[in-house]
Amino acid sequence: MSEVNFTIDGVPVRARRGQTIIQAAEDAGIYVPRLCFMKGVLPGGKCRVCTVLVNDRPQAACTQPAMEGMVVKNDTPELRGWRKSVLEMLFVEGNHFCMFCEKSGNCELQALGYRFGIDAPRFDFQFPQRVVDASHPDIILDRNRCILCGRCARTSRELDGREVVDFVGRGHKESLGVNGRRLADTGLRVTDRAVSACPVGALMPKRVGFAVPVGKRLYDARPIGSEIEDKRKGGA
């Protein structure tokens, strides 16, 4: 059996054997919100934004393989509420100053905030002290904005073939460590795919920013996920 049939919110979905729920959903034009999942690299299961209910049990859609007969719930008020809370946690955990960030308008965290209608997080801002590493001549690592998604680490290992960054510290002390004393010592190059893998403004090329006018950026006009949902509207 190379095919798996299951449902998402009652809609029949056909998956290839080995696909995860999020992959099968995307192919079917169903958007499961996500942050730490990126096509082309293994999933990390870190952000938990993609949590769905599988036979009424919460599972990350990015790591759960699709299985025959699964009943998946994705777009329910309950899940929307829980996901919204998780996004709010990310906003208060770091120092996210959108107003001067070069990623604004193209930022996946921000875009999810918009999609979920977050006007202000309901949790207290933590205002943590985070270290900025500007040692590299061409790349900046601003940990204030890092959401600990791990896309850079996985992309660097799996696609660039380098060992550049990894998580250090336990619990709320978790942060992005570099393979060396500073980012400049790691061999990371601005052309590495790891740099473009960052969904937010944490790992960014220097001297590039604000090139696209407000109104024309990725998520100015339409919510993140629209391009996936278009597939369904285009022709199911």
Partner 1 sequence: MAKPKVATASLAGCFGCHMSLLDIDERILKLVELVEFDKSPINDLKKFTGRCRIGLIEGGCCNQENVAVLKSFREHCDILVSVGDCAVDGGIPAMRNMVPLKECLDEAYLKGPTVHNPSGKLPGDPELPLLLNKVYPCHEVVKIDHHIPGCPPSADTLWEALVALLSEKPVALPYTLLKYD
Partner 2 sequence: MSNDLKQAVEAAVGRCGRDRSRLLDVARDVQRSQGHISDEAMELMASGLNTSRVEVESLVSFYAFLSREPKGRQVIRLSDCVACRGRDGAKTEAALESALGIKLGDTTADGQFTLERTSCIGLCDQGPAALVNETPVARLTADKVPQMVRAAREGKLAGAGFEVVDLVRQRGEVLLSGAPAGKGLERALTLAPEVVINEIKDAKLRGRGGAGFLTGLKWQLARAAHGTPKVVICNADEGEPGTFKDRVLFTQAPELVFEGMAIAAWAIGASEGILYLRGEYEFLRPGLEALLGKLRAGGKLGKNLGGKQGFDFDVRIQMGAGAYVCGEESALINSCEGKPGVPRDRPPFPVERGYLGRPTSVNNVETFACAARVMERGEGWFRGFGVEESTGTKLLSVSGDVAKPGVYELPFGITLADFLKTVGGEGAQAVLVGGPSGSFVAPAQFSRRLGFSDLPTGGSMMVFAKDRDLLEVAQSFMEFFVEESCGWCTPCRVGNSLISQRLESIRRGEGLPGQLDELAELCTTVKKMSRCGLGQSSPNPVLSTLTHFRPLYEARLSKKASAILPSFHLEESLAEASRLQGRPPVFHEE
Identified binder of partner 2 from the candidate list 9, 11, 28, 48, rule CB under 8 A: 48
Give the N- to C-terminal CA distance of the chain in Å, as an integer. 23
Residue 210 interacts with partner 1 (CB under 8 A)? no
Residue 223 interacts with partner 1 (CB under 8 A)? yes
Q: What is d(CA 161, CA 176) in angstroms, rounded to the nearest whole number? A: 18
Q: What is d(CA 50, CA 30) in angstroms, rounded to the nearest whole number? A: 12
Q: What is d(CA 137, CA 189) in angstroms, rounded to the nearest whole number? A: 10
What is the chain's percent helix, strand, coil content, to nearest 5?
30, 20, 55
Query: Taking CB under 8 A as the rule, which mask of x and - marks residues 129-148 in contact with partner 2?
Result: -------------------x
Nearest to residue 175, comparing CAs of 221, 204, 133? 133
Identified binder of partner 1 from the candidate list 5, 95, 106, 175, rule CB under 8 A: 95
Q: Which amino acid is at 189?
A: R
| 1: Cβ contacts below 8 Å, ≥ 6 apart | 17, 68
Residue 1 interacts with partner 1 (CB under 8 A)? no
Number of chain residues interacting with partner 1 (CB under 8 A): 28
Residue 80 interacts with partner 1 (CB under 8 A)? no
Rg of the chain (C-alpha set): 18
Identified binder of partner 2 from the candidate list 28, 73, 82, 159, rule CB under 8 A: 82
DSSP letter at 6?
E
Residue 222 interacts with partner 1 (CB under 8 A)? yes
Residue 43 interacts with partner 2 (CB under 8 A)? yes
Q: What is d(CA 24, CA 159) in angstroms, rounded to the nearest whole number? A: 23
Q: How far is the CB of 34 from partner 2 (least distance, A)?
A: 12
Q: How far is the CB of 126 from partner 1 (least distance, A)?
A: 10
| Contacts with partner 2, residue ranges (CB under 8 A) | 43, 45-49, 51, 58, 60, 63-65, 81-83, 85-86, 89-90, 92-93, 122-124, 126, 148, 163-174, 177-181
| Contacts with partner 1, residue ranges (CB under 8 A) | 95, 97-101, 104-105, 110, 113-115, 117, 119-121, 124-125, 127-130, 144, 214, 220-223
